[in-house]
Chains A and B, each alone.
Chain A
Amino acid sequence: MRLPIPVWSEGRDRTRMGSIFGPGFFENSPVQVALIVGTVVAAVSALVGVFAVIRSEAFSGHALADLGAAGGSGAFLLGVNQLWGFVVVAAVAAGAIDLIGLRRPRGRDLATGIVLGAGLGLAALFLYLDTTSSHTTGAPVTILFGSIFAIDGSLIPVIVGLGAVSLATVLLLYRMLLLTSLSPEMAAAQGVPLRMVGVGYLVSLALAVALSAMTIGAVLSTALLIGPAACALRLTKRPAWALVLAALIGIVITWLSIALAYDSYYWPPGGRGWPVSFFVVALIFTVYLVTRLPLGERCDRRPDRAPARLAGG
């Protein structure tokens, strides 16, 4: 795991005085790239993730993420940037899932499982070839667990562009996605083209997953997709607020994780720094647990029923 080395030297006093951002944090170029990329990826993943949760397509999202590993490792073999591997494989896999997945309720899970199995086989082969050809263990770790501090700054426009495509698709299909997740039959009766909406959504899901695979790795990108969305759904009952909250939670968690990873250079065992992915997943899990606390339910209680029942009894 390549981490940017903090600009202050070891041994000198760290005078952070309560700030979570270490000195030199914002001047560090890999950190700047990580913050920009992290913000874009977190926002896109969280927004797309809200629909993955309410459409019950979390498994598709996870499968696309794992499959990204095949793409990333394949790209590494070919000497191409892994982003392209993630994107191409996720898009192809999304198409395959749609083709195999008949419109039966369980059809999609089955299709996802089949495509996932095939893809992971390829990932195993490519990762093996990557390690034997380069005699390092760097490739598997980068691909599986992310490399947000090692992203080439010249990729920023591409990442922003792909994120914008994914985001625009989801926002364009916003109402149709809500209606379809309520009931596909009702949506069809109202004239919603189910197939087109399904494919459109899978494409934006594939892009979001590919982008977050770049950041926190193929294995953990589900966390950024599902975590903030699941938290937001606990906190609000309005669809638009769920999108805004999910994006905010995702962005704040990503920033904190980058800051903590930068800081962790001085944590035991020392001199190596902890992976960003770990902080992202740990923070998401913590936030989710907090939203599950009973006080999170307060806003959902229906005021109209309880008193009437008490009065009657």
Chain B
Amino acid sequence: MELASPDPEEILKLEGVSVWLSGRQVLREISFTLRAGEMTGLIGSNGAGKTTIFRVILGLQRANQGRVWLRPGTGPGRSPGIGYVPQTVVLDPDMPLRARDVVALGLDGHRLGIPLRSGRRRDLVAEMLEAVDASGFADARVGRLSGGEQRRILIAHALVSRPQLLLLDEPLINLDIRSEHEVVALLSRIAREQGIAVLISAHDMNPLLPAMNRIVYLAGGKAASGTTNEVVKPEVLSRLYGRQVDVIRLRDRVLVVAGTDESSAADQEHAHAIADPGLV
């Protein structure tokens, strides 16, 4: 299979990627493409395989089948590489790192030795702190910042090495609604202004709807991808889930609800997880 891409906008291509973890198939022939300047949502419930897809892209997990194509020069530890913000980062309040130190580690944290004072390094860090609206708390201990502030610092850490691809695993989890909006708006702006491909995983697509250019919807290890309007339709999602699924649109929000026929208790639970409890 030749995956060489003639389209200069294409940053990452997954073609027919399957992964088995301890005998269980968690990903079934996943295919999607990420393009520069676009924000793509990777939507699925807990355990749908979102983190596994990130690990495959980062090269931390081998794909048993299929191919992963990355634009040359895009890879871990290389510059420009892949920026990555994992789902949970627990920061000790006594950790002797200021917000700006964390961002600086994104630049050269994989290098040996003690960093030398450099004006260029300081400028790059300051510029990135400005880009995520974090200049106001750049000198605070990172472990004592709020969840939303920490998230912005981790995004700055991931972006400071100027990657072509930014991966964020559930960046909206545990954030209040205001921080949620701030983070989504920030990511959308960064994707546009810096022309990078952004892949964001989430179990609820609604906060991402206004900003998301494309969606990769994961269920049962399979994926459907395209624009939100192409994918979030009863026919497409019913095929993905393997049974009847309804899509309810309420003003600018979307609820995906499993049909009552033949659905098990576990599936019902899933439907509730997707639905916004505030609207039920």
Contact = CB atoms under 8 A, between A and B. Distances in A.
Interface stretch (A153-161, A174-182, A264-272): A174-182
A233 B93 CA distance: 10
A186 B85 contact: yes
Nearest to A171: B114
A186 B86 contact: yes
A182 B96 contact: no
Contacts of B136: 304
A127 to B, nearest CB: 36
A190 B78 CA distance: 8
Interface residues of B, number: 40
Contact of B110 (A56, A191, A232): A191
Contacts of B110: 175-176, 179, 187, 190-192
A304 to B, nearest CB: 5
Contacts of A175: 105, 108-115
A242 B105 contact: no
Nearest to B113: A172
B132 to A, nearest CB: 15
B29 interface: no
A241 B95 CA distance: 12
B102 A302 contact: no
A302 B144 CA distance: 9
A278 B60 CA distance: 48
Given A190-B110, A304-B137, A239 B101 contact: yes
B209 interface: no
Contacts of A311: none
Given A178-B109, A190-B76, A237-B141, A185 B96 contact: no
B44 interface: no
A173 interface: yes
The 7 tightest CB contacts between A and B, nearest first, are A191-B77, A179-B109, A189-B84, A242-B96, A185-B86, A237-B141, A183-B89
17 contacts: A174-B114, A175-B105, A176-B111, A179-B109, A182-B91, A182-B95, A183-B86, A186-B84, A188-B58, A189-B82, A190-B77, A190-B81, A191-B77, A232-B96, A233-B95, A238-B96, A302-B144
